[in-house]
Amino acid sequence: MTNGRYQLRIVSSARRHMTEDLPEAVATAAFEFITGPLLENPHRVGKQLRPPLTDRHSARRGTYRILYRIDEQAQTVTVLAIGHRGDIYRA
């Protein structure tokens, strides 16, 4: 782990989903979470997923999930997807 904040990357599909598809209140809460607690300590706020998604973590925000990948070497958190818990893990 690290003592500093991580850098943030959001893939274009997650950014588009957050700005166009999510309810405004959910999008606002997700953005505040992503730019705050997630960058401070991504290991603490989420959990590592099971195979075949072991390279990803998931954080809960109500009934929505934020899927992300942590790159310790680059000190980067990449947000991969944001969606409802019933849909987010489907391929």
Helix (H, G, I), strand (E, B) or coil at 81: strand
First to last CA, the chain: 30
Model confidence over 18-76: pLDDT tens digits? 999 999 999 999 999 999 999 999 999 999 999 988 999 999 988 999 999 999 999 99
Cα separation, 2 vs 72, in Å, equals 8
Whether 89 has a pLDDT exceeding 90, the answer reads no
**In the prediction, which pLDDT does 6 show?**
96
For the chain, the domains span 7-84
Q: What is the pTM of this model?
A: 0.90
> Which residue in the block uniquely carries the two structure tokens 């849909």?
87
| Class level of CATH domain 7-84 | alpha beta
